[in-house]
A = this chain, B = another copy of it.
Amino acid sequence: MLQVIPVRVSANIMPNDDLGNIVLKAIKQNRLEILNGDILVLAHKIVSKVEGRIVSLADVKPSPKAIRMSKEHGKDPRIMELILKESIQILRAKNGIVVTETRHGLVCANTGVDQSNVEGDAALLLPIDPDRSAARLQAAVKKKRGKEIAVVITDTFGRPFREGQVNVAIGVAGMSPIKSYVGSRDMYGRKLRVSEIAVADEIASAAELVMGKSKGVPTAIIRGYRFEKVASASAKSLQRTKEQDIFR
A positions within 8 Å CB-CB of B: 1-6, 92, 94-95, 97, 99, 107, 110, 114-120, 156, 159-168, 177-178, 181, 184-188, 190-199, 201-203, 205-206, 208-210, 213-214, 216, 225, 237-240, 244-248
Q: How many copies does the complex hold?
A: 2
Contact A166 B205 (CB under 8 A): yes
21 A–B contact pairs at CB < 8 A? Answer: A2-B3, A2-B4, A4-B206, A92-B246, A115-B190, A116-B191, A117-B188, A118-B188, A156-B194, A159-B160, A159-B161, A160-B160, A160-B245, A162-B168, A163-B237, A164-B197, A166-B201, A166-B205, A185-B214, A203-B209, A205-B206
Report whether over half of chain A's contact residues are helix, strand or loop; otherwise say mixed. mixed
**A213 partner, pick from B164, B192, B246, beta carbons under 8 A:** B192
Contact A198 B161 (CB under 8 A): no
**Minimum CB–CB distance for A27 against chain B, Å:** 14
**A240 partner, pick from B120, B161, B195, B196, beta carbons under 8 A:** B161
